[in-house]
Amino acid sequence: MPTRSEEYAGLSVAMITPLKNGQVDYDALREQVEFQVAAGTTCLCPVGTTGESPTLSHLEHQKVISVVTEAAAGRIKVMAGTGSNSTAEAIHLTKWAADAGADAALVVAPYYNKPTQEGFFLHYKAVAEAVDFPICVYNIPGRTGKNIEPATIIRMAQIPNITMVKEATGSMDQASQILAETDLTLLSGDDSLTLPLLAMGGRGVVSVVGNIIPQDVIALFAAFESGNIDEAKRWHHKLFPLCRDMLGLATNPIPIKAAMKLLGRDTGEVRMPMTPLGPDEEAKLRKTLTNYGLL
């Protein structure tokens, strides 16, 4: 059955926000856009969790969206991170993204203040009604402190421009229920669960490892789509150690930025309270990248 936002099937990349001497490096950001366009990536997701949105100022957040959208120039989709624990702020950021020319918004569940399920529903309804482009519900209870329950997401699916879910609960049951009862486009929010979610009807991934190996994530998706399950499994097993390290060595985006530094593609700088990888973790990461064939 075709899903509601089928044009977002495949690889979306959760972009890092490059930093240099404490400031956002907009030239490096534009280079990342070119890198992903050349790889054939479907969509860019700036200023999400990987983009360090919690420590960007409001002006930086807005400028990152504008710079990525401008650099994309219609060659690649842009799904901008516009969520907040304040509904008014989420509406403001989502309108900004729409005005800047983004194609969709990735709206994380309100964090820290832990709304009721009714609060979640009304929050997303208000954001969706403020704009006329697709909204992706980003459910990551490990970060936000509370799960948006499947019944609430099924209710949200009645709102026409809520068209996608970034499923980062790690719960196969939750994903199954959403897929069984809606036509929402479900995207994996965990790189290591992409293939299992595709097998259940998911349509792609918002990927962290896609920052460094977009072509391999695309190859996994293409193999699955063509019915070559053995090839898809081969890619899954190859990618797995890298996916594990990106989330296991330290909090995202610390490891992916460290990896990009080792590969000569970023300074590796993170903004406090995030701190760089320690020497032991960096040695493990270097070993994983070497085993993968990247170093």
| 147 inside domain | yes
| 123 inside domain | yes
| 240, 193 contact by CB (below 8 A) | no
| 238 inside domain | no
Helix or strand or coil: residue 9? coil
Catalytic residues, by residue number, are 138, 166
| 294 inside domain | no
| 54 inside domain | yes
User: Both tokens of residue 263?
Assistant: 């590969």
Query: What is the four-CA torsion angle of 165, 170, 171, 177, rounded to 10 degrees?
Result: 20
Q: Is the pLDDT of residue 1 over 80?
A: no
| 171 inside domain | yes
Helix or strand or coil: residue 81? strand
| 185 inside domain | yes
* Number of domains observed in the structure of the chain: 1
Helix or strand or coil: residue 28? helix
| 257 inside domain | no
Q: What digits encode the pLDDT tens for the residues 172-207? A: 999 999 999 999 999 999 999 999 999 999 999 999
Helix or strand or coil: residue 260? helix
- Residue numbers of the domain that contains 56: 7-228
Average pLDDT rounded to a whole number, residues 141-164? 98
CA angle 176–178–184, rounded 5-degree value = 125
Using alpha carbons, select from 65, 54, 60, 74 the residue that is nearest to residue 15: 65
| pLDDT tier for residue 2 given thresholds of 50, 70 and 90 | confident
What is the average pLDDT score of the chain?
A: 98
Query: According to the model, what pLDDT value does residue 285 have?
Result: 97
Average pLDDT rounded to a whole number, residues 266-288? 97
Residue type at 270 in one-letter notation: V
Residue 108 belongs to a domain with what CATH number?
A: 3.20.20.70
The pTM of the full predicted model, rounded to 2 decimals, is: 0.98
Average pLDDT rounded to a whole number, residues 82-106? 98
Q: Residue 7 carries which DSSP code?
A: G
| 38, 72 contact by CB (below 8 A) | no
**DSSP states along 182-197:** ---EEEESSGGGHHHH
Using alpha carbons, select from 12, 265, 1, 10 the residue that is nearest to residue 138: 12
